[in-house]
Amino acid sequence: DAKTTQPPSMDCAEGRAANLPCNHSTISGNEYVYWYRQIHSQGPQYIIHGLKNNETNEMASLIITEDRKSSTLILPHATLRDTAVYYCIVSRFSSNTGKLIFGQGTTLQVKP
């Protein structure tokens, strides 16, 4: 599975959009991009995933560049409850491997 690079920390003002970048320059054609977050010491929570196209759900939007070497997770209107560690993961989860490897993630601090 391809490795990812994320900034260790970011700040965002409450009510503004939070844009979290992720580099995955060695991604291969059958690898998906996944985003999870972990609030305080709770279990991680799935946010969104994508292969090529941009994706949107009730939590966030995922923008994947055309060459698929990087992506951005967008929280459109960040709240204090969005303060968490955000993990970008690239995995061939669609095969029979069934595993996700987490990196260090980005600590997002949403400030009033």
10 binds another protein (CB under 8 A): no
The window from 7-15, 19-27, 28-36, 70-78 that contacts another protein (CB under 8 A) reads 28-36
In the region spanning residues 33 to 72, those forming contacts with another protein, defined by CB under 8 A, are 34, 36, 41-46, 49
**Residues 9, 112, 84, 61, Cα dihedral to 10°:** -90
Select 14 or 44, whichever has its Cβ closest to another protein: 44
User: According to the binding rule CB under 8 A, does residue 74 interact with another protein?
Assistant: no
Q: Is 30 in the site for another protein (CB under 8 A)?
A: no
Q: Where are the beta strands (DSSP E) in 7-105?
A: 9-13, 18-23, 32-38, 45-50, 55-56, 61-64, 70-75, 84-91
Query: How far is CA 57 from each of CA 61, 73, 107, 108, rounded to the nearest angstrom?
Result: 6, 11, 22, 20
Q: Which residues contact 67 (CB under 8 A, 6 or more apart)?
A: none
Q: Which stretch binds another protein (CB under 8 A): 7-15, 66-74, 76-84, 98-106?
A: 98-106
**Interface ranges with another protein (CB under 8 A):** 32, 34, 36, 41-46, 49, 85, 87, 93-94, 96-105
